Every structure is written in C-alpha cells, then in structure tokens.
Amino acid sequence: MTAPAESTTSSGANTGIPVLRYLPGLVLLVVVGVIGTFAQTGLRSVGKATGTALPDIEYVLWAIILGLLIRNTVGVPKAFRPGVGTYEFWLKIGIVLLGARFLLGDLAKLGGFSLGLILIDMVVATTVILLVGKAFGLSGKLSTLLAIGTSICGVSAIIAGRGAIDADDEDSGYAIAAILALGAVALFSFPAIGHALQLSDTQFGLWAGLAVDNTAETTATGAAYSQHAQQVAVAVKNTRNALIGIVVLGYAIYWSNRGGVAVASGLRARSAFVWRTFPKFVLGFIAVSALATAGAFTKAEVTSLGNLSKWAFLLCFAGVGLNFDLREIARSGVRPLIVAALGLVVVAGCSLGLVLLTSNWITGT
C-alpha cells in the first residue's frame, strides 16, 4: 500500500530543494527495476548456456518480487518513501506515452467492443460481491467499496467511493487490502492460466483489462504475457477507468437515499463530481493517440516514446512491490478477502468466457 507523504516542513532536511526528498526513493525504484531486467536476461543466458529449459520470468515479476521482498524484510526507510510513493505517477506517464502505439480508429474499436463486456462484468461483480458480502455479514458500505474496487479500477475507485458514500477508515482499509492482495494473485496466476489455455496476446490483454482490478496490476499482468497483451490490457482498463465518476456517483445517490451521505443536487454539481473523480491520464492517453493518428510522430519517435513508456512502467512495477505490505493485508482479516476473492473468481471466469466467445470480432478472424 502507498506510504503517506512526508511533510515538507517537518524537518530541516526537507526545506531545501523539495525535489531532493524524492531522489533516494527514485534511485531505489531504478535499481530494483534494473535488477529485475538483469534477472530475466541472466536466467535466459544461463538456460541457453546450459541447455536447460528454465522458466522465462518477465522483468515485471522480478521487479515486483524484489520490491516485495525488500518491503517485507528490511523495510523501506523513511528517507526513501516519498520517492517510492511516486510509482503511481510513473504508471500514468507510461500509460499516456503508450497512446502513441494506438491509432484512434483502433482505439475506438477496441474501447467500444470492450465497453459492452465491461458493463456485463460490472453487473456480475456487483451482484456477486453484494450478495456474498451480505452472507458473510459485511457492512453494506464495505461490500459497496469491494464492489466498486472490483468492477472499476481498484484502489483509486475505493478512495473515490469512500468519500462519496461516507465510509469509515476501517472499511476502506479492509477493501484496499483485499483488492491489493487479489491484484497480486492475478498478476502471478493469470499469465500461467493464459499460457495453459494458449490464449493469443489480444485475448489475454482483453481478459486482463476486464478482470484485474488495479491499473498497475493490470498493466503488469499484461506485460508479464507480452508487449502486445500489455497494450491491449491498458486500453481496455482505460475504458473501465473512464466509468469511475459515473459509477461512484450512482453509489453516492443510492446511499443518500438511505440517509447515509449527502450528495450535491443538480446537473452541474453532479457533472462536476464526475469530472473530479475522472482519471485525467486517460485523456492524455487519448490525446497522444490522436497525435499519432494525425502523423505527428515519425516511426523512430513512436519507438522512442514506447521505450520511455517501458522505463516509466519499470519504475511503477518496482514501486508496486515496494509498497505492498503483507502485514497490512494480514491485519485486514479474512472475511473481506474471501468476498473479494469470490468476486474475482466469478469475474475472471465470466470475462474469460466472454473474451473466448467474442474476441474474433476484434481480430477479424
């Protein structure tokens, strides 16, 4: 989970050049990410030199595993936390730059196709989690946060939903811990399942974009399969992310009718709410795609933007591991985790079936 930002005025060490407080953590992100790439290439070299069929573990997983080991053994010192906490920023930068790989026509086709599947998944996820949450005795607001996190965009949706439905810190903490834990499970299990089922890169990218909750884990899961799968997963996930404001507003209205929270009335106020919760990096992704469609980038520039995107994702993946505290997951209790896990299994199965039945429309076969 993301470490809280340190105050810039609490000590003399932070009153000089503000950017310097991020430097130690940024260096750590780079080191962990680079070690992850060396681990992948090193294992490949050993396998080739010895004629051994060693598993080809992507740098994504190496970086996350190394970061996770550091966080849960020696820990992340206080001086490193501001820089480590920027991993979500690098995720957004990577997604925006990835827009250069898409033409608007392809993006519209993929987004329009995935929207129907997303809506089906949202209905399934919401229904299952609310019913199972009630059966396990979870509060209505905790079940709502789990449903929001599973159906839209993980932690970001939970944070937006927390204020909208006036949920308490304990419920939001439980929901975030459960979603983070299941994101890690999906990251390590989905690629293995995809290979076992011999999914194409497009099929796997669609599946990851539909079923994995957090944007960071979605991106990493796609990258663990292939570069093309990552691109498709990000595009589909952006379509899910774009719905966050509307979905959270809907839940806010529901809870306001039950006397649980006050919601601003009027079209203008509600439109402002949707805009405030809308993930702005999605617009950056579309804007870069529009520039690529208009021919603003040469082939070499598209390649360079793609390489920059990979570096940004590398910092993000290292940060995912460094921010994942297993002790916080353990403290959240088992009931929210079971409810969210059942939701993930149902959504993963449903979305996989939908992808297998309909993905030929995207590939044109």
Helix axes 140-151, 154-165, angle to 10 degrees: 140
Per-residue pLDDT of 18-40, as tens digits, reads 778 899 999 999 999 999 999 88
User: What is the mean predicted confidence (pLDDT) over 232-255?
Assistant: 86
Q: What is the pLDDT of residue 265?
A: 62
Please, what is the average pLDDT of the chain?
Answer: 85
* Percentage of the chain exceeding pLDDT 90: 39
Contact (CB, 8 A) for 50 and 106 = no
Retrieve residue 81's tokens: 């936390």
Helix axes 201-211, 227-241, angle to 10 degrees: 30
User: What is the mean predicted confidence (pLDDT) over 64-82?
Assistant: 93
For 336, the enclosing helix (H) or strand (E) is helix 335-358
> What are the DSSP calls for 153-170, one per residue?
THHHHHHHHHHHHT--HH
User: What is the mean predicted confidence (pLDDT) over 324-352?
Assistant: 86
Contact (CB, 8 A) for 335 and 98 = no
What's the DSSP call for residue 137? T
Specify the 3-state DSSP secondary structure of 278: coil
Retrieve residue 253's tokens: 């209205």
What's the DSSP call for residue 332? T
Q: 364 vs 73, which has greater pLDDT?
A: 73
Can you tell me the distance from the alpha carbon of 106 to that of 77, in angstroms, rounded to the nearest whole number?
44
From first CA to last CA, the distance across the chain in angstroms is 42
Q: What is the pLDDT of residue 8?
A: 38
Query: Could you give the residue ranges of the DSSP H alpha helices within 11-153?
Result: 23-50, 59-72, 81-84, 87-98, 104-135, 140-151
pTM for this prediction: 0.80
Nearest CA to 266 out of 255, 253, 277 is that of 253
Separation in Å, CA 305 to CA 170, 276, 347: 41, 28, 33
Q: What is the pLDDT of residue 259?
A: 57
Contact (CB, 8 A) for 272 and 239 = no
Q: What is the pLDDT of residue 262?
A: 55
Band (pLDDT 50/70/90 cuts) for residue 291 is: very high
User: What is the mean predicted confidence (pLDDT) over 321-337?
Assistant: 83
Contact (CB, 8 A) for 174 and 332 = yes
Q: Which segment, 9-18, 227-236, 264-273, is predicted with the most confidence on average? A: 227-236
Q: Which segment, 99-113, 226-240, 249-263, is predicted with the most confidence on average? A: 226-240
For 237, residues 6+ apart whose C-beta sits below 8 A from its C-beta are 153, 208, 209, 212, 215, 218, 219
Q: Is the dihedral of CA 85, 237, 167, 130 positive or negative?
A: negative
Per-residue pLDDT of 176-216, as tens digits, reads 888 888 888 898 899 999 999 999 999 999 999 999 988 98
Contact (CB, 8 A) for 280 and 88 = no
Specify the 3-state DSSP secondary structure of 302: helix
> What are the DSSP calls for 205-251, one per residue?
HHHHHHH--SHHHHHHHHHHH-HHHHHHHHHHHHHHHTTHHHHHHHH
Q: 4 vs 307, which has greater pLDDT?
A: 307
